[in-house]
Structure 1
């Protein structure tokens, strides 16, 4: 038996008009609430956002691992191979080759190259300690990888243990006799002549010449220490080669 829809109206007919309005209002409120909950929980979908990997991330969004550049790897391999093939010449090695030495790195390697350009070639391996940032410990670490230099220096003392030579502390250095290197008259020497002095490069040599012009000739070799940048160490290293000639008398 089909349901008679008239019973629905019978329910409403038993209510006053005011009660019917209240009932309809409540039904609308309940329906609106259900619709809102449905919209909030199921109908509304978050928009899809495609993440674009940044320069420091991979496709999955994880931080990318930095890979060494091919050129940097090649330079490191070249420097390491140069050490394996033989001892490095401290006066000819490039910054990349010096960087491969233990305890040096790129900053100190560039400092060594700049020191060479300013003060001229190293006369002794021990002179590397004059470079800023390089001390006795670093010297002992790099000494086995460097060629001995022909300068006024005695070879380092060695002792043998179990048939192997071990490098010890270097012997105290003494100025070279005048017959090994030419004398330099600091009152008449040119910039080129002064650059042959140990620890004196083009900059310091030019300062010596300018000091001569402003203050007159040196009266004694020790007065070269009055030139800015030339201290007691440079003077003692070259004392046996310095002369003032007749101009200083």
Structure 2
């Protein structure tokens, strides 16, 4: 009986270890780190992102008409940008826009310099 108990305890400890390692790996991916790797593999620091985001179109406050000024963004994608923003909150990094269907790394790269990530109209 003791041998059976030791074996089961060993299995439980292995399962717990695997679970804790997986949980640690997932939680580290959810947090905002000091560097962001875009879908294209480029790495951006917060300073780089902040410096780049001085464009005329604030994706966090713009309405559909203004969003359609971005390269590759028509009315449908503009509406999807607004819907994503309403559902999940503001965009903090340009790569957050890749969550919108129809915007991938290549499209984002083309209009990246035109966007502004300010969250308040008075910041523009």
Q: How far off its partner does 1:228 sit?
A: 1.1
| Matched positions, count | 69
Match of 2:58 in 1: 185
Residue pair 2:57, 2:116 contacting (<8 A) in 1 also: yes
- Whichever structure has more helix as a proportion of its residues is 2
TM-score by length of 2: 0.51
Deviation sequence 1:19-53 (CA, Å, 0-9, x none): xxxxxxxxxxxxxxxxxxxxxxxxxxxxxxxxxxx
Pick closer, same or farther for the CA change 1:246–1:207 going to 2, 3 Å: closer
Q: CA deviation at 1:204?
A: 0.4
- Paired residue secondary structure (1:198): coil
Instruction: Classify the secondary structure of the residue corresponding to 2:103.
Output: coil
Partner Cα distance (2:79, 2:119) in 1 = 22
Q: Is 1:227 the equivalent of 2:97?
A: no
Aligned partners of 2:81 and 2:100 also within 8 Å: yes
Give the CA RMSD over aligned residues: 2.2
Task: Structure 2 unaligned segments of length 5 or more: list them.
Answer: 1-52
Is 1:202 the counterpart of 2:75? The answer is yes
Shift of 1:216: 0.7
Contact kept? 1:220, 1:244, Cα under 8 Å: yes
Q: Counterparts of 2:68 and 2:106 in 1: how far apart (Å)? A: 16
Partner of 1:240: 113
4+ long deviations beyond 6 Å: none
Q: Which has the larger radius of gyration?
A: 1
| CA 1:208–1:246: 2 relative to 1, 3 Å | closer
CA distance in 2, matches of 1:241, 1:199: 12
2:102 counterpart SS class: coil
Q: Could you say which structure has the greater relative contact order, defined with CA pairs below 8 angstroms and 6 or more residues apart?
A: 2
